[in-house]
Amino acid sequence: MRKNKKQLYLSSKRAIITESKKETSREQSSYFSRIEKCPLGAFKQAQRGDLSALVISGHPTENELKIALNGLNEQYFEIVGDSSSAFLTEQYRKVYLLKNKVERLAALFSLSRITRDDLEEIKKISRGKNLEECIALYKRLTVQLDTEMKELEKTKPKGDENADYFEELHRVMCEHVKYEIPETITVYGFAVHVKNYLTHLKRKKNEKRINR
């Protein structure tokens, strides 16, 4: 009987130590979640599906990295603004942002335990008042996304179906400034480049209208 108690104690102790190590590892994990810090190269790599490019240290979960990437996308479009339609049709931009919202909510809903902070984030994204309402709004958003995706297929420019938005945008920016923009530039720095360029295009377009 004593032996069983000792084995149980040791087993329990090992489990506690293992769990403690996992928790410490999780707490020490860090990854890019702000465009002011994230390099363009890592951002583009994550867009292609390699979320590990966002990891700075530790072992963040896939859900954490998905949420981080969607947050980076939203921050990027906040800087670039609506003028980004010079590169994306308005429909593409709408789908892109809606897809980010749906994926971000899906990642939060799939967490094993939804904390108070998680719930506040869910409410902020879905604009629901409580969890039940947020779930209903999430389902509505997934249906909306499906509808918008079908519309996008109709409006997508021919020849650009397989073009990667950020790869193409990087190429265009390099041509415009006449030098290779390094992939070490932050996403924020790149977004400012894009915003300035789009403002330049808009100004030129207005000048042409005036001179007609």
Q: What is the pLDDT of residue 158?
A: 46
pLDDT digits 0-9 by tens, 119-162: 999 999 999 999 999 999 999 999 998 888 777 666 554 434 33
Can you tell me the mean pLDDT for 182-196?
93
The pLDDT of residue 193 is above 50: yes
Query: CA 84 to CA 152: how far, in whole Å?
Result: 16
pLDDT digits 0-9 by tens, 202-211: 787 777 666 6
Closest to 69 (Cα-Cα) out of 53, 87, 90: 53
pTM over 0.75: no
Query: CA 45 to CA 52: how far, in whole Å?
Result: 9
- Domain limits of the chain? 35-211
Closest to 86 (Cα-Cα) out of 167, 172, 163: 172
| CA distances to 26, 44, 81, 88 from 85, in Å | 39, 19, 9, 4
pLDDT digits 0-9 by tens, 48-101: 889 999 999 999 999 889 889 888 988 898 888 755 555 554 566 677 788 888
Q: What is the pLDDT of residue 162?
A: 35
Q: What is the pLDDT of residue 36?
A: 97
